[in-house]
Amino acid sequence: MKMEHIERPELLIIGGGPAGLSAAIVASNHGVRTLLVDEGVKLGGQLVKQTHKFFGDEEFYASKRGFEIADILVDEVKRSPNVLTLTQTSVIGIYEDAVGVYDRTKEKVFSILPGYILVAAGASERFLSFPGNDLPGIYGAGAVQTLVNQYGVLPGKRFLIVGSGNIGLILAYQLYQAGADVVAIVEITDRIGGYEVHAAKVKRLGIPVLTNHTLVRAIGQERVRGAVIAKVDEHYSPIPSTERELVVDVICLAVGLVPSVELVMQAGAELIYVNELGGYVPRRDFRMRTTVDNLFVAGDLAGIEEATTAMIEGKIAALTIVEELRNLDLSEEIERLQKKLSIFRSGPTSEKVRRGLEKMGIHYEGVSFQNVKQTPGLEHKLKPVIECFQPIPCNPCETSCPTGAIVVGDNINNPPKIDYEKCTGCGICAISCPGLAIFMIQEDYTGNRSLIGVPYEFLPLPQKGDVVLALDRDGNIVSNAVVEKVIKSKNLTNLVYISIDRDLAHSVRQIVMPESKPASYVCRCEDVTVEDVMRAIDAGFTDYEELRRYLRIGMGPCGGRTCSSLALNLLTRKTGRSPYELRPQISRPPIFPVPFASLKGGEEDEG
Amino acid sequence: MRDKSIVIIGGGIIGASIAYHLAIMGAKNVVLFEKNYVSSGATGRCGGGIRQQWSARGNVRLAMRSVRKFETFKQELGWDIEYRQGGYLLLAYTEEEAESFENNVKMQREEGLHVEILTPESIKRRFPYVNTTGVLLGTFCPTDGHANPHLANFAYIQRARELGVEVYTHTEVTVVETSSNRVTGIQTKRGYLKCDVLVNASGAWSKDVANMAGSDLPTESYRHQILVTEPVENFMTPLIMSFSKNFYIRQTLHGSFLMGQGDPDEKPGINYRTTLRFEKEIATKLTTVLPFLRNMRIVRHWSGHYNMSPDAQPIIGRDRNVENLFHAVGFSGHGFMLAPAVGEALAEMILTGKTSHIDLSDFDMNRFERKLVKEKNVV
Amino acid sequence: MRIENHPILRFSRARRFVFFFENQPVEAFEGETIAAALIANGIDTFRLSLRHKRPRGLFCAIGKCSSCLVEVDGKPNVRACLTLAREGMRVRLQKNRGVVGVEDGAH
Ligand SMILES: Cc1cc2nc3c(=O)[nH]c(=O)nc-3n(C[C@H](O)[C@H](O)[C@H](O)COP(=O)(O)OP(=O)(O)OC[C@H]3O[C@@H](n4cnc5c(N)ncnc54)[C@H](O)[C@@H]3O)c2cc1C
Ligand SMILES: Cc1cc2nc3c(=O)[nH]c(=O)nc-3n(C[C@H](O)[C@H](O)[C@H](O)COP(=O)(O)OP(=O)(O)OC[C@H]3O[C@@H](n4cnc5c(N)ncnc54)[C@H](O)[C@@H]3O)c2cc1C
Ligand code: SF4
Ligand code: SF4
């Protein structure tokens, strides 16, 4: 019976984080023979490493500490008769004939033939290129959390954290709890990325969060002995005169997460690039079903978000699978969970996730929904898009428009309204707006490119033909852009028109001049540096797949986890082709290197 | 002839080699279309082995000419393609196989190839990591070897570009226009292009391209899987292969081991997925022949396609229905190694109507009406 | 450095034993990975990189990055972050691609 359960489960859940565990509980409560596989020593995913109290919804254990939530979920799973869990077991691939599973403790690879698969494998960490980025003493934030919170081992005494998202902020707090010094958190943009409350907690401890700062290089020959940081200018380039040295022995990179999509890719599910959700994510519907019929996803893998949403998504996926397996109607419960999700996602901090999901045709209403409406029927026309929604006493847009196309009305506090019939596309309003909230846009420019006019008040002013970096509303570099024309203005608000991939017309809102990056490592397995990549691009390897094969990026034992997003980034910067165009690298099994000994036949014949 | 407009379909090693050879022979007006990226087809997925020990004489000749050209590749093109002549060690496990090996060696020696016949004891002495249990004899040709297929493919393409060939990637040829048994032009998403000569180097898609041009080919494509390990320090110089045990394995200069096998149950068609069964079978088989593999790890596994003709030998030359259409297809599992000689011969054929090193009549498409000489030395 | 007192977490360190890194004894506790034990003892260079021979240590801690490969009892390419330390095991800095024991083939 047990063998049958392992080899032919009705539902295979890959990943035992909050998403996978919640799904397992739901499925087993409905009597579905479920197998849950996780490669960690303990179940719980990201939760086991979190010592802080979680936000969210009471129903989903808000205000409990992360590892406590894991314990509750794991207990419930353990009590259920229909779930079997395997830990220290990696799913190495979704093959044509079977799902391959490698048990590290037994050194054995098994084949599994599940009816349905739910992939809830979470995310992996982004890497960053800077000189010395490969030295011992430089860790991903997750690695430090594992060492500190799981093994009780501090890898150093004085820490520098790069990135002020929730992960960087929480890590700082956890290190302080463990008795280490956190010298600073550096953040390249002008604002803290994580929640204000997390930041306040860290600041109260006297840990400085240095916005507009970046890590310039690591100091040290055989390991990290220090770090050079500097302020950055408006182009995110370090200002040399502001460089200073910090004496630290550990540098933690907390620069974001990338969904672990390898397995869903292997299963043949379609991926789409959604910057707001963390990069390439599986296309999926409201019920968490991918484009492959019996393959579902949930949690960070479906889009980097929160434990609460991961749990709800896991449940929705499991309920849908139960419906199909048992021919039941569970739509009421699913509706209830959908409602929870939409309330959760309606807040301003979910704005990014909402925007991301919208790209898949999944719509969640925001409470202060930002008006980035498409303008159907007007794609061919150059016209202003006004992103001014807060009632403020202001009306230069109305008064500057020579044709009376913009109306603020009697009350100067009213947000402006535009009549595109009257608008001639002159761009005067965009130059006049003190809020720099008006952008000129023509979706259909040439081919599949759009034209965007961006108000620009920095030096140097780009020239026609320049290649510049295009940034989204959060300051993320999303692509390169070509400058098509530059309208200089007496009031010093110049309009720079760029052409950009059409998909990006409604996300790009800023440009910066590209900087030249110093030599740094892209790929650890093969020692490939940023310089190597740049040289190869110059030699004509502008196709991502050709570049990979030429330099062996992503062909090492890491399977491209550390290097492929960096390499893609460099290619985007250098060639101006957006990641939308540069199709994702194919994922090839096994996603975890497996010894031949574990694959050898013999054992199976006995069983 | 050198001003004629020549269109090549396919940016794999075969199309790239033809483009390069046309260009150095002075063709002025060559355009190559690749529907994906360079080396996206079988070339970028292959084992990179270069062998002259064949059972069919025509293949031996083509391969020997190719080896000449691989030996001078670096001087000629200025690219280091990680070429190494570490030999091929073929292992015979059955009486029948041993006998056919001895016959092959006789023919190969007639062609001037230096091949040794090794006893299990001498195999053990020279290659101590091989478990010779069950081996009856081995044949070893020291000038066989291997190279990095990506780099070889890129080298031909880059040099062709520098010599004036226009190369368009991510551009599929979707229509071939013909009139009274002649190709007149082709269509891609970039537009229409008139052409005087069309070359079909489309690998696994050879039949589709022939059909587009109003002809046909007796070819089918079959998936073949292959895997690679983590790199370790170099020590295994030859490529080791067995037909009866159905495997080949080599260590790249970079240190990793590449290996594969054929699957007699494979159905024709394009399929890029991989099977766990393949990993298990390879692991079971090869940890016996090469026990050191037990402690090594598989890092990647993928698949590509063999384009097969009825006799497992390539089809090279003029189409028999459409007079200005040329084919270089049906390369089974050995198109990479033959590419230098094939590119040279077909370029000569197109530009001058004759060839200087290779007799292409062994490979013309009319042979399927004659009696077939099947190539038996394939995995 | 091992954390002794933590406001929220408890670390059970039941059985203590010794293994060897580059022939030097290293203290470890049951349940610790090779990486955790080495780092607890202030050792953070595990290998030299392939082309440039740069020192490398732990980076991702979950077996995904290949930065922490060491040689264990003569076997190369062992992930220090996932492999539990065992009493008496001999761990060495991996200085090259790793050498596989080919004498295995001699039977
Ligand atoms: C520092 C930090 C603080 C956070 N704070 C909060 C907070 O306050 N509130 C909140 O709601 N959220 C918070 N989050 C986010 C939350 O932890 C994640 O969104 C959530 O854990 C995602 O759940 P998941 O189940 O999708 O993935 P994960 O929790 O990442 O679990 C994925 C699991 O899959 C396993 N796995 C992956 N690949 C394989 C494979 N091939 N084979 C077998 N197993 C595999 C992994 O071992 C892992 O256990 C925080 C995250 C971090 C990092
Ligand atoms: C697993 C495996 C191992 C192998 N091992 C070896 C080996 O060790 N030694 C050896 O010599 N050979 C080996 N081979 C065989 C070798 O890879 C092939 O014979 C050789 O690469 C064929 O080259 P090609 O240029 O004809 O085909 P390809 O490399 O497949 O190139 C054909 C190209 O044509 C393009 N194309 C198709 N249709 C169109 C169209 N309509 N428009 C535009 N472009 C189009 C395709 O995208 C493709 O890139 C192996 C093959 C496989 C699959
Ligand atoms: S672009 Fe010109 S016409 Fe259109 S709204 Fe602005 S000022 Fe008025
Ligand atoms: S001028 Fe700018 S800020 Fe003022 S109302 Fe118009 S768009 Fe808004």
As separate numbers, helices (DSSP H) first and strands (DSSP E) second, chain A gives 17, 32
Residue B138: name the closest of B86, B91, B88 by CA. B91
Query: In the predicted model, what is the mean pLDDT of residues A243-247?
Result: 91
In C, minimum Cα distance to B296 occurs at C100
Q: Which of C44, C48, C47, C26 is nearest to C35 (CA)?
A: C44
Residues B234 and B299 both lie in one domain: yes
Contact call for A557 and C52, based on CB within 8 A: no
d(CA A108, CA A106): 5
Residues B326 and B361 in one domain: yes
DSSP state of C85: P
Q: Would you state the pLDDT for residue A475?
A: 58
Q: For residue A446, how far is its CA from the centre of ligand 4 (angstroms)? A: 30
Stretch A325-349: mean pLDDT? 88
**What is the structure's pLDDT at A461?**
82
pLDDT digits (tens, 9 = 90+) for A200-214: 778 877 788 999 999
Is ligand 4 within 6 A of the CB of residue A178? no
A373 belongs to a structural domain: no
Residue A1 has pLDDT above 60, yes or no: no
Cβ separation A524–C7 shorter than 8 A: no
Among the three residues B292, B308, B324, which one is the final residue of a domain in this structure? B308
Is the CB of C3 less than 8 angstroms away from the CB of A153?
yes
Same domain, A535 and A472: no
Longest dimension (CA), chain A: 86
* Statement to judge: residues A548 and A473 lie in one domain: no
**A395 and A501 part of one domain:** yes
Lowest mean pLDDT among A278-287, A389-398, B324-333: A389-398
Same-domain pairing of A52 and A111: yes
Q: Give CA B65 to chain center in angstroms.
A: 14
DSSP string, B309-369: -TTSS-EEEE-SSSTTEEEEE--TT-HHHHHHHHHHHHHHHHHHS--SS--GGGG-GGGGG
Find, among A556, C75, C105, the residue nearest to B240 by Cα. Answer: C105
- Among residues A342, A358, A374, the one where a domain terminates is A358
Least confident of A449-458, A472-481, C87-96: A472-481
What does each of the 107 residues of chain C score in pLDDT, given as a tens digit? 898 878 778 888 889 999 999 999 999 999 899 999 999 999 999 999 888 888 899 998 888 788 899 999 988 889 999 899 999 999 999 988 888 876 544 44
Residues A393 and A507 occupy one common structural domain: yes
Q: Residue B300 and residue A97: Cβ atoms within 8 Å?
A: no
* B211 in the same domain as B171: yes
pLDDT means over runs of 10, chain B (379 residues): 88 98 97 96 96 94 97 96 96 96 96 97 96 96 96 97 96 96 95 96 98 96 96 94 96 94 93 95 96 92 96 94 96 96 97 93 87 77
> What ranges in C1-107 are assigned the alpha helix state H?
34-40
What are the C-alpha distances in Å from B337 to residues B51, B60, B330? 7, 11, 13
Q: Mutation test of the interface with chain B: which of A596, A600, A605, A606, choosing the one with the most B Cβ atoms within 10 A?
A: A596
A193 touches A164 (CB < 8 A): yes
Give the total number of structural domains in chain B: 3
Task: Report the atom number in ligand 4 closest to the C-alpha of A416.
Answer: 5
Reply yes or no on whether the pLDDT at A603 is more than 60: no
Which residue segment(s) compose the domain that C69 sits in? 16-94
Q: Of A489, A512, A535, which residue constitutes the final position of a domain? A: A512
CA distance A221 to A139: 16
User: Ligand 3 site: residues with CB under 6 angstroms?
Assistant: A 384, 400-403, 405-406, 423-429
CA-to-CA separations, C62 to A171, A444, A519, C75, in angstroms, rounded: 17, 46, 27, 20
Q: Which ligand minimizes its atom distance to the CA of B228?
A: 2
At A602, the pLDDT band (50, 70, 90 cuts) reads low
Residue B135 amino acid letter: V
Which residues does chain C have within 8 Å of residue B238's beta carbon, measured at their own beta carbons? Answer: none
Q: What is the mean pLDDT of residues A500-509?
A: 86
**Range with the largest mean pLDDT of A467-471, A487-491, B120-124:** B120-124
**Closest CB from B128, B131, B232 relative to C76:** B232
Closest C-alpha residue for ligand 3 atom 2: A426
Which ipTM did the prediction report?
0.90
Beta carbons of C69 and C94 less than 8 angstroms apart: yes
The reply to whether residue B291 touches residue C99, judged by beta carbons under 8 angstroms, is: no
Which residues on chain C are in Cβ contact (under 8 Å) with A596? none
Cβ neighbors of A417 (< 8 A, separation 6 or more) are A406, A407, A408, A409
Q: Pseudo-torsion of CA A137, A138, A141, A144, nearest 10°?
A: -10
Cα B93–Cα B99–Cα B100 angle in degrees, nearest 5: 95
Looking at residue A234, which CATH number applies to its domain? 3.50.50.60
Residue B234 included in any domain: yes
Question: Is residue A378 situated within a structural domain?
Answer: no
Q: Are B23 and B349 in contact (CB under 8 A)?
A: no
pLDDT score at A473: 67
Task: Over range A289-312, report the average pLDDT.
Answer: 95
- Widest pairwise Cα distance in chain B: 64
Nearest to A383, CA basis, from A451, A434, A328: A451
Give me the mean pLDDT over the A289-310 stretch.
Answer: 95
Nearest-CA distance A593 → chain B (Å): 5
| B125 touches C: beta carbon within 8 Å | no
Out of B287, B308, B329, pick the residue that ends a domain.
B308
In this structure, is residue A586 part of a structural domain? Answer: no
pLDDT of residue A437: 78
Closest approach of chain B CAs to the CA of C8, in angstroms?
Answer: 39
Of C99, C104, C105, the CB nearest to B233: C99
pLDDT for res A4: 76
Domain assignment present for residue A488? The answer is yes
Max distance between CA atoms of chain C, in angstroms, equals 58
Confidence class for position A10, pLDDT limits 50, 70, 90: very high
Find, in chain C, the residue whose alpha carbon is nearest to that of B231: C97
Same domain, B110 and B156: no
pLDDT surpasses 80 at A562: no
Are A511 and A456 a contacting pair, CB within 8 Å? yes
pLDDT at A605: 39
* Same-domain pairing of B99 and B243: no
Chain A stretch 261-280, residues whose beta carbon is closer than 8 A to a beta carbon of chain B: 266, 268
> Each residue of A342-369: pLDDT tens digit?
877 876 667 888 899 998 888 887 654 3
If one counts the domains in chain A, the total is 4
User: Distance between CA B61 and CA A292 in Å, rounded?
Assistant: 48
Residue A590 has its nearest CB partner, among B158, B293, B298, at: B298
Read off the tokens for A482. 């070509």
- Is the Cβ–Cβ distance between C98 and C69 less than 8 Å? yes
pLDDT in tens, A157-189: 999 999 999 899 999 988 988 888 899 999 999
In a domain, C90, yes or no: yes
Judge if B317 and B346 occupy the same domain.
yes
- For residue C66, what is the nearest residue in chain B, using CA coordinates? B230
Residues A395 and A451 grouped into a single domain:
yes
Residue that has been written with the tokens 């990135």 in this structure:
A163
Helix (H) or strand (E) holding C52: none
Residue of C nearest to A51 (CA): C8
The DSSP H or E segment spanning A252 is strand A250-253
Element (H, E) at B19: helix B13-24
Q: Which residue has the higher pLDDT, A246 or C4?
A: A246
Query: Do A129 and A24 meet the contact criterion of CB atoms below 8 Å apart?
Result: no
The reply to whether A133 falls in a domain is: no
Cβ B87 under 6 angstroms from ligand 2: no
C105 and B232 within 8 Å at the Cβ level: the answer is no
Alpha carbon nearest to ligand 1 atom 3, residue: A167
Domain range for A412: 383-512
Counting ligands in written order, which one lies closest to the CA of residue A398?
4
What is the length of chain A?
607
* CATH number, position B343: 3.50.50.60
Same domain, A543 and A505: no
Q: How does B286-318 read in b/e, with b if 16+ C-beta sit within 10 Å? A: bbebbbbbbbbbbbbbbbbbbbbbebbbbbbbb
CB A219 within 8 A of CB A225: yes
Residue B333 lies in a domain: yes
For residue A423, report the distance from its CA to the centre of ligand 3, in Å.
5
* A54-106 tens-digit pLDDT: 765 557 776 677 888 999 999 999 998 899 999 999 999 999 999 999 998 89
User: Contact at 8 Å (CB) between A435 and A390?
Assistant: no
Which CATH number goes with the domain that contains C46? 3.10.20.440
In a domain, C107, yes or no: no
Which range marks the domain in which residue B119 is found? 93-141
Q: What percentage of chain A exceeds 70 in pLDDT?
A: 89
What is the residue with the minimal CA distance to atom 8 of ligand 4?
A388
Of chain B residues 244-283, which have a CB less than 8 A from chain C? 255
Q: Provide the residue type at A354 as one letter.
A: R
The residue out of B281, B308, B335 marking a domain boundary is B308
Give me the residue label for tokens 């390539």.
B314
Per-residue tokens: B288: 């016996």
The tally of domains found in chain C comes to: 1
Interchain pair C100, B296: CB under 8 A: yes
Q: Is residue B194 located within the same domain as residue B329?
A: yes
Distance, in Å, from the CA atom of A351 to the CA atom of A480, rounded to the nearest integer, reads: 24
Give, for ligand 3, the residue of A385, A386, A387, A403 to mutate: max count of ligand atoms closer than 8 Å to Cβ: A403
Task: Pick the last residue of a domain from A223, A255, A287.
Answer: A255
Nearest CA among B41, B8, B2, B6 for reference residue B24: B2
pLDDT of residue A348: 67
Q: How far apart are CA B174 and CA B187, in angstroms?
A: 6
Note whether A223 contacts C77, CB cutoff 8 Å: no
* Per-residue confidence (pLDDT) for residue A497, from 0 to 100: 95
Q: What is the pLDDT of residue A519?
A: 43
DSSP-based helix, strand, coil % in chain B, nearest 5: 35, 25, 40
> What beta strand segments (E) does chain B contain?
6-9, 30-33, 49-50, 88-92, 116-118, 137-141, 145-146, 166-168, 175-179, 182-188, 191-194, 197-200, 220-229, 239-242, 247-251, 257-261, 297-308, 315-318, 325-329
| CATH classification at residue A559 | 1.10.10.1100
Give the closest-approach CA distance of B138 to chain A in angstroms. Answer: 25
Say yes or no for a CB contact (<8 Å) between A139 and C59.
yes
The pLDDT assigned to A324 comes to 97
Give the global pTM: 0.79
Contact B187, B171 (CB under 8 A): no
A368, part of any domain:
no
The answer to whether B283 contacts chain A (CB < 8 Å) is: yes
Q: What is the pLDDT of residue A518?
A: 34
Residue of C nearest to B288 (CA): C105
Nearest atom within ligand 2 for CA of residue B304: 53
CATH code of residue B276: 3.30.9.10
Residue nearest to ligand 2 atom 14, measured at CA: B333
Q: How many CB pairs under 8 A join A and C?
A: 122
Q: Are residues B179 and B212 in the same domain?
A: yes
pLDDT of residue C10: 80
Look up residue A462 and give its DSSP letter.
P
pLDDT of residue A268: 92
What is the residue with the minimal CA distance to atom 3 of ligand 2? Answer: B46
